[in-house]
A and B are shown apart, each in its own frame.
Chain A
Amino acid sequence: MIAFAELLERLTLTPGRLAKIALLRRFFETEPDPDRGIGLAALTGELAFDAAKPALIRQLAESRTDPVLFAWSYDYVGDLAETVALMWPERRVNAPPPLLMEVVQSLATTPKSELGALVAGWLDASPAPVRLAILKLITGGLRVGASVRIAKIALAELSGGRIAADDIEEVWHGLSPPYTELFAWLEGRGDKPDPAGAPVFRPPMLAHPLEVQDLAVLDYARYVAEWKWDGIRVQLVSTPGGRRLYSRGSEDISAAFPEIVEAMTFDAVLDGELLVLRDGPDGVVVAPFADLQQRLNRKAPTGRMMQQFPVGIRLYDMLFEADEDLRPLPFDARRRRLEDWFARAAPARMDLSELIDVPDLPALSVLRDGARAASIEGLMLKRRDSPYVPGRPKGLWWKWKRDPLTIDAVLMYAQRGHGKRSSFYSDYTFGLWRQLEGGSEELVPVGKAYSGFTDAELAMLDRWIRNHTTARFGPVREVAHGRDAGIVLEIAFDAAQRSTRHKSGVALRFPRVSRLRTDKPPAEADRLDILIRLLEGEATIAI
């Protein structure tokens, strides 16, 4: 448990992805079974305990600490588990800290009435970091900022290059803690685990962004186009062993979309886009992403939400039909299989993504420029002979996003970045002009951008911010911004959406800095009205 506690603390505080992988890898290398597997399960969110809750921790604190000192301490620290972990009175006990396996097993089997004494005994035997890890484990609040994917990359490194993270992905959802057979396979002591019909996730095939230099050289006759829908990419896995809806990142999101799982009355693995779909006068209408966001924010939807934001799947591809792996087949063949299957199975809540023939670049450009409607991000180009390859293989699939929208906004606040950027002011809040009653104008913040600039531009902005700071609020600096003072940033973004959370009433999707407009006086930056006219959801497109 000591190594796990140290790992948790470091993962929480480490911003760098590579550093996180190194920390995880060392944990998996040095901890024995079954503790390392239990640690893996805890980090990837596979463990949950019902019996132990914050109330129990509060009771423990009351039994062992002075109530006045506890209140002051809690007030200072601000987190219940951490307060208790830090102020727990240390007594010398002749017992080592518990093993992770012991904690997890006991939590699952101990009756609620005996839980308090059990946990108190562990806390007595543990130093502060271990106490915190135990309490966070109990309340399910690990929040270490390490994705499941990062854990799988670290696991793959254990194999010394023999096994890729995507290979682990293919068996992952057929495994369970403490993953001893997985570790045996990674360390060359055992065979690849056989998921045996379990509804496991298959790493998806992704597309490269299409750059200007690619446009001229593509042989368009070999490609077919599809709309790039603005929902979330999902994988539907339905086998005799179970049904799962996975996000692109292999997260099991079945519980959030029960109506989809209910409709998966087939034996197949499908690739598609999850969208909010509504019936309109001229057919099904795709709602803007903001509507889907309402559903994504929930672990389990209410009946009302399901009615208000009905979801469906627009199908792109077919990976398996029953036991048959279709992934080696060319795209055209898979598409025919998908269409034939769809005609027979006629699954509810699903339709097929329309294919568009692309004779040449001019035709394609016309299509893309016309794709200004809500819920379409641009075009996909798929080579007709492409097999379904996990990851982002070069030259097979391309995404050609519609041109971003741009505004000229005024920099208002800046904050330092993280990791390599921790000495640079690299997070920028920008605003647009809004008319006040009486005719004067004020700047109102409309978004934040963290990317899009070159290193040289970052250095220039950092210098400018340090020299033009007008106020500080903790880590945030307010910089000079007014009609005659300030710096104008050209901000590119994919869409504007209504938002009740922002003072401006508008939220931008994927805002980034596209240019520094040092030539432009702040008074000539854009007005908020421009953004309001661009709002999505005011006009949706019927397909």
Chain B
Amino acid sequence: MPPHPETWLKVLPEGLFCEPGGFFIDPPGPVPRAIITHAHADHARPGHGAVLASPETMALMDVRMGEGRSGAQRQVLPYGEPITLDGVRVWLQPAGHVLGSAQVAMEWQGSRAVVSGDYKRVADPTCMGFEPIACDVFVTEATFGLPVFRHPPALGEAARLLDSVRLFPERTHVIGCYALGKCQRLIALLRQAGWDGPIHLHGALIPLCQAYERMGIPLGELRPATVAAKAELAGAIVLAPPSAIADRWARRLADPVVCLASGWMRVRQRAKAKGIELPLVISDHADWDELCATLTEVDAPEIWVTHGREEALIHAAEQQGRRGRALRLVGYGDEDDAGVEAVPGETALGGKVVA
């Protein structure tokens, strides 16, 4: 009988550890050997010994941390190409979260575990879609693990934004969005919804947009918002990190309509508390229905939840007849939830950015 994954995939103080393979997955601090699911700051930390990631994730880490800062030895692994690390067969599969995001699939002595990283199930023009893998243990996130979180079609949210731009043509629409992934997806959505004019960007968003374009994701005409004249910004769409939209930086804008693109915006009270005038429910995380459907699709008898609202998802898993376990990994958050009230001087990228 193959060994149960809990005998070889363990939660250590340093993070989730594959013991026979000798590697950590998304460790919150430097380790000798790490596999990184995606380039968000809470999953991708600098300074590892050896680091393995998808080519896109590696490129994005270089942009965020500085060339070569992610680890001393860096190895890229394209999706679907298995390698063997000390007897553990490992491959990456698209997770649909952001460009380059991957699930880490591991097989050891006939037992298979999949670590999803962060993921979503709806189509995203800026990254490959999630591909489910049948497994014995599925390690999932649960950021939006409550049934109140059900994201509406993202294109409809982009259309609501454009409708508001038409209604208030003299005002700037400033949209708070996380710099990696959300920003580029929102731009692509606006293009799909018919906005072919320029989109203005806060300085912190520019390097990652350039990286996306280098990797073949066209974003259309982008302009720096910081140098634009106030008159130019009347009627403009400006994207900025959530921490900037209601703070001093935003004073340069023309009577701004403050918007935030985030799955949290589903709850009106959260929008109100943050002073958001137009909430856009756009998330790069699976919503409740997607989480539950994914558990059914991968059909693992056992579900481990890394972070988020684990109790509700475990409750749902148990109702499907699966065993649920909360890993309570510390250090992961939701990138949007850094919040509008971030400390001045800190960027929305968690202060770890070279941008």
Contacts and interface: CB of A to CB of B under 8 A. Distances in A.
Given A12-B268, A87-B148, A418 B275 contact: yes
A475 to B, nearest CB: 7
A23 B148 contact: no
A423 B253 CA distance: 12
Interface string A412-424: 0000101010110
B167 A86 contact: no
B248 interface: yes
Interface string A74-117: 00111100110011011000000000000000000000000000
A13 B278 contact: yes
A49 interface: no
Contact of B147 (A26, A69, A78, A79): A69
B318 to A, nearest CB: 10
A425 B258 CA distance: 17
A90 B251 CA distance: 41
Nearest to A127: B152
Contact of B150 (A68, A69, A90): A90
Interface of B: 146-150, 152, 160, 167-168, 246-248, 250-251, 255, 257-258, 266-269, 271-273, 275-279, 309, 311-312, 315-316, 319, 341, 344
B167 A73 contact: no
Contact of B277 (A15, A22, A132, A474): A15
Contacts of A90: 150
B146 A76 contact: yes
23 contacts: A6-B160, A9-B268, A12-B272, A13-B277, A14-B277, A16-B255, A19-B277, A22-B168, A66-B147, A69-B316, A72-B309, A76-B148, A76-B267, A76-B309, A77-B269, A78-B269, A82-B269, A86-B267, A87-B148, A132-B268, A423-B247, A423-B251, A474-B341
Nearest to B281: A128
Contact of B250 (A6, A9, A423): A423
Contacts of B272: 12-13
B281 to A, nearest CB: 9
A422 B266 contact: no
A466 interface: yes
Given A22-B168, A69-B315, A128-B150, A86 B266 contact: yes
Given A76-B146, A87-B147, A423-B248, A13 B268 contact: yes
A472 to B, nearest CB: 8
A405 to B, nearest CB: 33
Contacts of A9: 268
A68 B316 CA distance: 10
Contacts of B271: 13
B275 A69 contact: no
Interface string A309-329: 000000000000000000000
B88 to A, nearest CB: 37
B279 A13 contact: yes
Contact of A416 (B275, B276, B309): B275
